[in-house]
Structure 1
Amino acid sequence: MIDTGATSYLARSSGPVMAKQPSFATAAKPPTPQFSYPLPYGAILREDGVQFVVYSRSATAMRVLLYKKANDREPYRSIECNPDTNRWGDIWSVFVPGLTAGELYHFQADGPFDPDRGHRFDPHARLIDPFAKALVGEFQAGSDGVSRPPKCVVIDDHFDWQGGRHLRRPLSDTVIYEMHVRGFTRSPTSGAERPGTYLGVIEKIPYLKSLGVTAVELMPVHEFPTNESNGQKSTRGNYWGYDPMAFFAPHRGYADSAEPGAQVREFKEMVRELHAAGIEVILDVVFNHTSEGNEEGPTFTFKGLENSVYYMLNADGSYKNYSGCGNTVNSNHPIVREMIFHCLRHWVYNYHIDGFRFDLASILSRDRSGELVPNPPLVEYIAEDPMLADTKIIAEAWDAAGAYQVGSFANGRWAEWNGAYRDNVRRYWRGDLGMTGPMATRLAGSSDLYQSSGRKPYHSINFITSHDGYSLNDLVSYERKHNLANGEGNRDGDNNSYSANYGVEGPTRRVPIRRLRKRQAKNMMATLLLSQGVPMIVAGDEALRTQRGNNNAYCQDNALSWFDWRLTQRNAEMLRFSEALIALRLHQPTLRRAKFLTGASEGHGALPDVSWYGTDGETVDWNHTFHSLTCVLGTAGLDDDKARHVMILMHSGGKPQEFHAPKTVRGLTWRLAIDTIAEPPHDVFVDTPGPVLNTSQPIQMDHHTLKCYIASE
């Protein structure tokens, strides 16, 4: 069944979907499995039973294993597929009458074990259905060598969406908030009744509303091992979740209820409530590798069904590793491409997801031999898929094997995480020489990267920090990574983060350093929200969350990674500043144009859409290596009554600097909107008008300072 929204899920069940005894459990002999149609894939709930469908070209036999409870080590029933009546081409399909929602199952496949030729069948392995809609339980260890992964759950997709649909907010009007479902509310300081869960996120919707973000980008929610690495026990946990094992299933570890299938309902409830609050949901999806690892890893899903189709292999059967995680999904193989299409549509239709961010997306540009190719089929199909037409599609346009495609990943609808924006803004505010020009380019929307391919400023996803790297607070507090807690001898994580500590490594009581760090955090947050493009903020940066210098906290499921909600009080100044900046951006169309700036005006004496000046108020000399820049954004080309001229003054030098207002703006009335060196409430003005600028007098800018003025009507 598919989710039509016509019937309330809650009305059909008094609680979460539970594992039930099949109707034949008390019969003398179970009903005989029957033939049924071979599509769609997965466990399809029918009126009188369940149809199990799985692809395997090379399997010589296929079984469906049924379980009563999540912790059962052995199935209560094994159903053998008849190759004459239960196989159509390379698709195995068997209908089992009497089964209902909540049934637990695995597949099991016989076939050749010949790694040199790409085959890794194991007739004893229990296999996760690639199209499973939910999992339950954990990996079960055993001395018999049999791989026992979490069990698949038969799901009824019906849910009462209460009339909710996708929000369809234009990308240019979007402010993204990257967050980890568990880490957002897991801390005892959150006060959440259901901490660390999908339902816990619902409890914090009022906070998200007050912050003003328009979309949450959730770090991976596809099923992944919880206490294991590649299906095996690990001394390090798996917190981030970039280790998928079931692409169609929401992670069971973020559900409040432990009942099989509860995560499906709770995830939908979270999306429904976020949408009701006007907040879109974007998923960080990982189609570049799986948690089965390389040739030394276990077999619990794709390896045991058709290894050489699902993974890129070398001639000797070993795994190509463009992901840095042991294997690489063969995403441009037609079978895998079809699975990814079905998966994306599943999340859009059954979960009302508004967009996707594709982790290590350059892997999607590699052909079946691993070579980067122009117009890769998968990338093009995602952009053109009619089911995804209303969704946001965002690429992390690089991979772990050296591909770096920022600005050249694709065209059309694809937006990109703009790594150049991150690096240039960090270096500018750190005070590096020669960064004034690059800073101007990033502030104006990165036309150097996106204009030639026909894309727009909003195809640049601007960010200064992300989950991967320092938090904003740590970016201005540490010059060296401090990752020893990860257990890898501090070898992991980026070695060149363009950070600074301003005199002391880590926390300090020295007031001048603390003030400078706070100002630098404000400078970068202000730059992010004033830039053309789409801003992305990492959860906690608005309250100066710290990871104590750890820039790769992938395994830290503890207070190091969790949002400490006490910071919203301790750093209320930064929180208020961030809220005001977001409100300013969403109110001011001049800051979020849908077309690139040209420098053209709408008539004699009118301000052009953009102009650049030096500290003397004259046209900027781009060969100048100092640290100061004035940007004037005009309303030319905007047909919006709310649009106002905006003037931004930036100075990243280590000494004070005197600025002069350009002659072209002196006839206008300018009011202060942002001053990163001022004490609150004079650091940002949104609801109340700021002081009027005397354009005939020099403007004094202290070191490392940003000021922004808005022209009055």
Structure 2
Amino acid sequence: MLMRQPSPTLQFAYSPPFGASLNAGGVQFSVFSRSATEMRLLLYNKVSDREPTKVIDFNRETDRWGDVWSLTVPGLEAGQLYHYQASGPWDPEHGHRFDSTARLIDPYAEALAGEFQKSTDGIIRPPKCVVVEDDFDWEGDRHVRHDISESVIYEMHVKGFTKSRTAKVDAGGSYLGVIEKIPYLKSLGVTAVELMPINEFPIKDIYGKKIERANYWGYDSMAFFSPHRGYAHDKTPGAQVNEFKSMVKALHAAGIEVILDVVFNHTCEGNEQGPTLSFKGLENQVYYILSEGQHYCNYSGCGNTINGNHPVVREMIFHCLRHWVHNYHIDGFRFDLASILSRDRNGDLIPNPPMVELIAEDPLLADTKIIAEAWDAAGAYQVGSFGNHRWAEWNGRYRDDVRGFWRGDSGTLGALATRLAGSSDLYEHDGRPPFCSINFITSHDGFTMNDLVSYKDKHNLANGEEGRDGDNHNISDNYGVEGPTRKKGINTIRLRQIKNMLSTLMLSQGVPMLVMGDEVRKTQKGNNNAYCQDNELSYFDWRLVEKNKGLLRFVQTLIQFRRDQPTVRRKTYLTGQPVDGRTIPDVSWYSPNGRPLDWGQQDLAMVAYIAAPAKVDDLEGLGRDMVLMFNSTGQDREFHLPEIGRGMRWNLFLDTAADSPNDIYPDVDGPMPPGGREITMGCHSMRVFVAQGE
């Protein structure tokens, strides 16, 4: 392991053994290729150069060490532009796709510059690699280290967050634009932002033309070690490195962690018909999972699949994760289609996959959060069984069960209770705690929260795929009219349902994830797969902050309550038994009439009494008992406070059927329940009472 020496501006940095490294004599270039017969380094003076200004051949006798080609070029400095070029066998039937004319992106490149250039000779000229100098002044910045059990995650798109003119920022759509909006994130109360992919991906097509339906989301990786140049405000080669670091430092100063969505499951090189840009031209049969030695296995749904459990690729992924953690101070990762990391070199799912275990056990990643999207595009679904206690998971079961309950689907009462209590059915069996469940109701992939209650069907024609793309199983409803309406009754129910689902999310055991804009009713007009919508449809419309300020206040209060109340973020499961020295169960379930709940009945109404833990981290009296009332039926209902809470003094915390500001009480000082303890609950609504503190 090679470590750079500490400097006044860098407390600790990590140097992978490959890529372009500055040293006293110039720049050392190192690249892996087992099967190449020749290797060349192409150097450029300017981003606009179509041809290299200098070509340097690696000497097989002096510049090859095992399967690593390495040489030092004296006199080069930071900012130098380069590609690799490799000669070797063209033998697709045996996995070799060498092309001696291809200009290749360094797999370990720390920055790219420029675009694909227009071609008249059939040669693809990809963005150029940039030699980067790590001279950023972190000013003592360290990882924030929020306990994951106390986290509230905000999934967001760097460009989409501030690209709209309504954002009114100087550097819209950039890393610096995010900095300008940190006060909003702080006011919202989230503890972490989960950034949709910021690794390099194509902006134009391989021949320099505008892509008709570009991959706006960024799930089309081109260089795993490089922050995306398209999100830099300054277009100088390599400027994205310092701008990204500035964003991380500013978020940390606000107490907000940065989690990256990483795509170690496929690349933008595609299948047999795809271009040779990097991995294909260096060691195709190592970097990709191949069938019959030549065909690309497509477990990602994107044309190819990264061979994550090959030792060479596994090493690259480790170096990449360490690079982001120690050179960019990243606090965690969400692994896209993580089940692919459970597949061996033949594509078969294997128990105890080494890649998954090693990520969890790597000492240089010990401070980071690791989150799996525990499925892939080839049928693997590992929610509840991915990795060990270090791994958290996007809980797709939570999403579906909460949506189904609030839509009014029969038989979902028990499922809602299980999800509210932390999904012990998924995680307790192998000793994983509730915070292994990342609870979400919406994500970038699917309807927004507003559209979930406004559309029964997807409306994706703008994507140019004749409506074939996007999930058909949305568990959504429009409550009478498809899309926007002026009907007051429908709009009232829609707003209630949004508040119902957000309340459930923030008051469930586990870790909540909120999606950018859901707190102010962002809409994609029914598009549930806006991957290619690099326009106002995807951007955050900042006018909604004022238009829906009542809902924003509701969400801010929910988040603050969650952060204040250990009752809703326990580190152990609710058992239905007395614990923590209390004489009452930690959770009790009741029918609206106050009697113990009959789980076999088909009603969609219930009461949950959640008792506060007696101690949290050896401190007494921090938590408050809570009564949660759920009415997912279409009728107003009479509810009773359970007898277990008699003798205690209660205040209303929230009522989703009430109008703002009486729908939530930031100081938990809402009206006390009526003396008869009978409460009329509106249809499609939720109420929460909180016991008064001592």
TM-score by length of 2: 0.97
Query: What does residue 262 of structure 1 align with?
Result: 239
Q: Which amino acid aligns with 1:667?
A: G
**Aligned-pair CA distance for 1:349:** 0.3
1:230: Cα distance to partner?
11
| Post-superposition offset of 1:688 | 5.5
State whether structure 2 residue 568 is matched by structure 1 residue 591.
yes
Offset, 1:607: 2.5
Per-residue CA deviations over 1:260-289 (Å, capped at 9, x if unaligned) read 000000000000000000000000000000
Q: 1:47 to 1:603 in 2, by over 3 A?
A: closer
Partner of 2:630: 650
Which structure 2 residues correspond to residues 226-265 of structure 1 after superposition, within 5 A? 226-228=203-205, 234-265=211-242
Aligned to 1:181: 158
Q: Secondary structure at the match of 1:709?
A: strand
Pick from 652, 656, 660 the counterpart of residue 672 of structure 1: 652
Match of 1:292 among 252, 261, 269: 269
| Counterpart in the other structure of 2:472 | 495
8 Å Cα contact 1:458-1:594 kept in structure 2: yes
Q: Residue 6 of structure 1 corresponds to which residue in structure 2?
A: 7
Q: 1:3 to 1:189 in 2, by over 3 A?
A: farther
| Partner of residue 407, structure 2 | 430
Q: Distance in 2 between matches of 1:466 and 1:692?
A: 36
Unaligned runs of 5+ in 2: none
CA distance in 1, matches of 2:158, 2:647: 50
The residue identity in structure 1 corresponding to 2:416 is M
Report the counterpart of residue 40 of structure 1 in structure 2: 17
Q: Call closer, same or farther: CA 1:232–1:322 in 2, change over 3 Å.
A: farther
Task: Determine if the alignment matches structure 1 residue 608 to structure 2 residue 592.
Answer: no
Q: Distance in 1 between matches of 2:208 and 2:54?
A: 25
Deviates more, 1:659-668 or 1:211-220: 659-668
Deviations 1:272-330 (A, max 9, x none): 00000000000000000000000000001000000000000010501000000000000
| 1:309-364, Cα deviation, whole Å (9 max, x unpaired) | 00000105010000000000000000000000000000000000000000000000
Alpha-carbon distance between aligned partners in 2 of 1:176 and 1:621, rounded to the nearest angstrom: 35
- Give the partner amino acid of 1:44: S
Partner of 1:25: none
Query: Is the aligned partner of 1:83 residue 2:70?
Result: no
- AA of the residue aligned to 2:75: G
Spell out, residue by residue over 1:408-435, the C-alpha distance to the aligned partner (whole angstroms, 9 max, x if none): 1122200000000000000000000000
2:137 alignment partner AA: D
Distance 2:332 2:6 in 1: 20
Shift of 1:145: 1.5
> Counterparts of 1:143 and 1:7 in 2: how far apart (Å)?
49
**Cα separation, 1, equivalents of 2:205 and 2:120:** 17
Equivalent residue in structure 2 for 1:324, among 297, 301, 304: 301
- Give the drift of 1:606: 3.0
Deviation for aligned residue 1:696: 3.1
Candidates 682, 688, 693, aligned match of 1:708: 688
CA-to-partner distance for each residue in 1:376-398, whole Å, 9 max, x for gaps? 00000000000010100000000
Say whether 1:204 aligns with 2:181.
Answer: yes
CA distance in 1, matches of 2:381, 2:210: 33
Measure, in 1, the Cα distance between the counterparts of 2:528 and 2:119: 36
**Residues 47 and 647 (structure 1), Cα distance of their counterparts in 2 relative to 1, 3 Å cut:** same
SS of the residue aligned with 1:228?
Answer: coil
Moved over 4 A (4+): 1-5, 229-233, 602-605
Q: Is the 8 A contact 2:37 2:88 kept in 1?
A: yes
Residues of 2 paired with 1:520 and 1:184: CA distance? 25
Residue range with higher mean Cα deviation, 338-347 or 615-624: 615-624
Is 1:661–2:641 an aligned residue pair? yes
1:311 counterpart = 2:288: yes
Displacement, 1:402?
0.5
Q: Is the 8 Å Cα contact of residues 608 and 635 (structure 1) preserved in structure 2?
A: no
2:541 is matched with which residue? Answer: 564
Letter of the 1:711 counterpart: A
CA contact (8 A) 1:231 1:298 kept: no
Match for residue 477 of structure 1 among 451, 454, 458:
454
Residue pair 1:312, 1:368 contacting (<8 A) in 2 also: yes
Instruction: Report the residue type matching 2:450 in the other structure.
Output: N
Does residue 691 of structure 1 match 2:668?
no
Equivalent position of 1:273 in the other structure: 250
1:582 equivalent in structure 2: 559
1:27 is matched with which residue? none
Report the more deviating stretch, 219-228 or 464-473.
219-228
SS at the partner of 2:588?
strand
Q: Which residue of 1 aligns with 2:596?
A: 619
How big is the shift at 1:578?
0.5
Q: What is the letter of the counterpart of residue 132 of structure 2?
A: I
CA contact (8 A) 2:614 2:623 kept: no
In 2, Cα distance between the equivalents of 1:364 and 1:230? 32
Q: What is the distance in 2 between the residues matched to 1:229 and 1:434?
A: 51
**What is the alpha-carbon distance in structure 1 between the residues aligned to residue 527 and residue 193 of structure 2?**
23
- Residue of 128, 131, 148 corresponding to 1:151: 128
Alpha carbons of structure 1 residues 383 and 231: separation in structure 2 relative to 1, 3 Å? farther
Distance 1:299 1:620, change over 3 A: same
Question: Residue 110 of structure 2: which of 133, 136, 139 is its match?
Answer: 133
User: What SS class does the counterpart of residue 615 from structure 2 fall into?
Assistant: coil
Instruction: Give the match for residue 467 of structure 1.
Output: 444
For 2:434 and 2:470, locate their aligned partners in 1 and report how far apart those are by CA, in whole Å.
Answer: 30
Identity within the alignment, %: 62
Q: For residues 700 and 167 of structure 1, do their structure 2 counterparts lie closer, same or farther at Cα, with a shift above 3 Å needed? A: same
What amino acid does structure 2 have at the position aligned with 1:511?
Answer: K
Equivalents in 1 of 2:273, 2:313: separation in Å? Answer: 23
User: Would the aligned equivalents of 1:293 and 1:325 in 2 still touch at CA under 8 Å?
Assistant: yes
CA distance in 2, matches of 1:685, 1:507: 29
Q: Quote the Cα distance in structure 2 between the aligned partners of 1:221 and 1:178.
A: 13
Q: 3-state DSSP class of the match of 2:296? A: coil
Cα 1:617–1:185 change in 2 (3 A) is same
Q: Tell me the CA shift for residue 249 of structure 1.
A: 0.2
Taking a change above 3 Å as real, the CA distance of residues 231 and 414 of structure 1, as seen in their structure-2 partners, is farther
Q: Match for 1:614: what amino acid?
A: S
Deviates more, 1:607-616 or 1:183-192: 607-616
Aligned amino acid, residue 326 of structure 2:
Y
* Separation of aligned partners in 2, 1:424 and 1:638: 31
d(CA) in 2 for partners of 1:225 and 1:67?
A: 20
Alignment of 1:299-378 (within 5 A): 299-378=276-355
Q: Is residue 160 from structure 1 mapped to residue 140 from structure 2 by the alignment?
A: no
Structure 1 residue matching 2:430: 3-state secondary structure:
coil
Number of the residue aligned with 2:508: 531
- 1:675·1:707 contact (CA, 8 Å) conserved in 2? yes
State the partner residue of 2:146: 169
For 1:348 and 1:193, how far apart are their aligned partners in 2?
A: 29
Normalised TM-score (structure 1): 0.94
Single out whichever of 265-274 and 674-683 deviates more from structure 2. 674-683
Sort the Cα spacing of 1:666 and 1:278 in 2 relative to 1 into closer, same or farther, 3 A. Answer: same
Alpha-carbon spacing, 1:327–1:59, altered in 2? closer, same or farther (3 Å): same
Question: Does the CA contact (< 8 Å) of 2:586 and 2:611 recur in 1?
Answer: yes
Distance 1:66 1:139 in 2: 16
SS at 2:314 equivalent: helix
TM-aligned CA deviation for residue 660 of structure 1: 1.1
1:136-187 deviations in whole A, cap 9, x for unaligned? 0011131212121100000001211111100111000000000000000000
Contact residue 16 and residue 319 of structure 2 kept, 8 A: no
Structure 1 pair 605/695, CA: closer, same or farther in 2 (3 Å)?
farther
Preserved contact between residue 666 and residue 696 of structure 1 (Cα < 8 Å) = no
Using a 3 Å threshold, how does the CA distance of structure 1 residues 434 and 354 change in structure 2: closer, same or farther? same
